[in-house]
Chain A
Amino acid sequence: MFALAVKNILNTFRGWVALLGFSIMVALAVLSWSLVREISTGALNNIAYYRSGHLRVVDRRFSDQLLPLNRAFPKYLEVEKIAAQYPGIKAQAERIEVRLLLQHQGRSAQARGIAIDAIREHPPWRTLAGRQVGVSDKELVIGARLAKKLAVGLNDTLTIVTPNSLGSLAVFDLKVVGIFSSGSTTIDESYFFFPLAAAQSAFDLNGKVSEVVIYLRDARLAGEAAEFINAELGRVAPGQFKVIPWERDEAVVWLEKGELIGWLVGGLCFFLGCTIIYNFFSAGVAGRDPEIAALKRLGVKKGEMIRLLIIEATILGLLAGAIGGLVAYVAAQFLSGQQISIGWMNLQYVQTEIEIGPRLPDLLKGIVGSVLFSWLGIILPAWRGVK
């Protein structure tokens, strides 16, 4: 029966066309899922590192905006001690964030500076040149696009002029020791990182930070962790701090919608594949009427004939799944590393340079999906054929 099923598919031109069409649909579905998953994972990682951690502890009065430097708080060690009571904490780090104008030889650009403790934080970016910032020296690591915009290279010096925490002016130099690429256009063209100690000294913030970021072992527990830490902090310092889980970020909400669209596109591809299967078997069953009549005369039961069609559909689905997965994998090799344009979506943290390469779960989903949809595609023809 298996040999007959294979023969029925591969011995006809229509069979090959159906296999090819279904394979393309499977490939598109797998690519769509992989793309969405990579964009989503990359963006969530970017949000987690460049924006909020999994949790962000800030001054309650300025929870939705950049904390003014004069509101930086000194009690961050107490905050960290309280936060550490939650069992799922992986790491905690303090930061000072500023928005300022960077100038270099007549060029200027608005930038977001994040002062980090380089010992406790290990940025996920790709270093294109130079090294990571040190602990206290007046130096910075700058996004590749921002460096290009300002025409700065390694060992160049940027003079920073910005209001300090006392309302006066901070004027200081930062030497470029590294250039990074995060894969996100927005981050690469507007972010720079410098040592926390250098920021504290330059902005007159000795012993103070503007926020504490917390990383969890399981990012999905951010909401629960935020609730726990908020309650504990509220007990110790009522009304002072607010713990914000990363799910609250606007970009995360957009990403969830994007993921849904990705799944729908994949589903649509399979539905189209399903219609191809339907067409193939409808026409096949009609063309095989004499064969079916002969089988009936030979005493072959309806159930056995249905089994034959299911085996044919399964073989078609498995072949389409395997070929589609292979096509998706090869296509991904060409597409990976390409810049994709998503400017219209205005999602700050989305990777524009991504590695799509489908992973095993995507390929398995592709194969299982193609078998299920090919079964779906034969229901009607099989019913009509054995009637």
Chain B
Amino acid sequence: MKRLAAIALLVPTIALAAVMSPVEKLLGSLEANYASRTAAFSMRLLYHNGDEQRTAELEFFSSGADRSLITVKNQGGRFLRLADKLLIYSPAANRPVKLSGRVFERSFMGSAFSFADLMLTPSFSGSYTGQAVTSETIGIVVPQGTGEAVEKRDCIVVQIASRMGPLAYRREIWIDREINMVVREKTYSLSGRHLKTIEYGDFRKAKKRLYPAYLRAEDHGRSAVSLLFVDVVEFDKTLPAGIFNP
């Protein structure tokens, strides 16, 4: 009886693995590199408003795939994501504002990064279907912050298309063959317009996990470029109780 049950459980798993394309397998393995129980980052976001350069000191916390929080230390304000809801605590408003829908596609504090870029856990296999694979060698930034020194890396280029809903666009991702992390991604609108490029560099290790300490985003629609430097990272840390309470 137990054997029958085991076989019954095993058959769909084997069948699923058998029908998964190599691209989907690749995306599945990639996603595993980004998953963590909890994460806490200290970051600096450099962005521009016209000629004025601004720096936002951010603290990021996440728990699982559904909850994340960013507090802006030097300007005030908090952004709390609970699944598909975004709560904004602005220093200029005396009550939080709850939003949902396409709000995650909006610019984060006017930078070239969106709320989705910073607050959503990367999901490749669940949300996208792989379409095409090529190879390319590209340069990625090695030292933190300078943006000058680059290292040539051998990458797999995968074109992925959104399966549904709010992620209604096509993406192209460059996956480093050696570290199996995304080092560049380009997003396109449904009409094929190039919306944004994000480059990841200065990969470092924390608790045997790799993470990019340097991110550069270019919003082609607004011609805006922003940089994000990750200064402190702690994975699987016990976060303060109630930190994600609205």
Interface residues of A in 150-189 (CB under 8 A from B): 157, 159, 161, 163-169, 171-173
Q: From residue B92, how far is it (CB to closest CB) to chain A in Å? A: 4
Interface residues of B in 80-100 (CB under 8 A from A): 88, 90, 92-95, 97, 99
Complex contact B107–A161 (CB within 8 A): no
Complex CA–CA separation, A169 to B49 (angstroms): 14
List residues of chain A with CB within 8 A of the CB of B52. Answer: 206
Interface residues of A in 348-372 (CB under 8 A from B): none
List residues of chain B with CB within 8 A of the CB of A169. Answer: 88, 99, 103, 106
Complex contact B93–A172 (CB within 8 A): yes
**Other-chain contact of A168, B92, B95, B99, B109 (Cβ < 8 Å):** B109
Complex CA–CA separation, A167 to B49 (angstroms): 11
Complex contact B49–A204 (CB within 8 A): yes
**Other-chain contact of B97, A159, A166, A206 (Cβ < 8 Å):** A159
List residues of chain B with CB within 8 A of the CB of A172. Answer: 90, 92-93
B188 within 8 A of A: no
Q: Closest A-chain residue to B88, C-beta based?
A: A171
B108 within 8 A of A: yes
Size range of the chain B interface in the assembly: 20 to 34
Q: A70 and B222 in contact (CB under 8 A), knowing A167-B107, A167-B110, A204-B110?
A: yes
Binding site of B, secondary structure by majority: helix, strand, loop or mixed?
loop
Complex CA–CA separation, A164 to B106 (angstroms): 10
Q: From residue B52, how far is it (CB to closest CB) to chain A in Å? A: 8
Complex CA–CA separation, A165 to B110 (angstroms): 8
Q: From residue B28, how far is it (CB to closest CB) to chain A in Å? A: 33
Q: From residue A353, how far is it (CB to closest CB) to chain B in Å? A: 35
Complex contact B107–A168 (CB within 8 A): yes
Q: From residue A344, how far is it (CB to closest CB) to chain B in Å? A: 36
Q: A161 and B97 in contact (CB under 8 A), knowing A166-B49, A166-B107, A167-B106?
A: yes
Q: From residue B226, how far is it (CB to closest CB) to chain A in Å? A: 10
Complex CA–CA separation, A173 to B94 (angstroms): 7
Complex contact B107–A159 (CB within 8 A): no
Q: Which of A70, A163, A165, A171 has the most CB of B within 10 A?
A: A171
Complex CA–CA separation, A172 to B92 (angstroms): 5
Complex CA–CA separation, A165 to B107 (angstroms): 10
Subset of 5 A-B contacts with CB under 8 Å: A168-B107, A169-B103, A172-B90, A172-B92, A173-B94
User: Which residues of B are at the interface with A, using a C-beta cutoff of 8 A?
Assistant: 49-50, 52, 88, 90, 92-95, 97, 99, 103, 106-111, 219, 222, 224
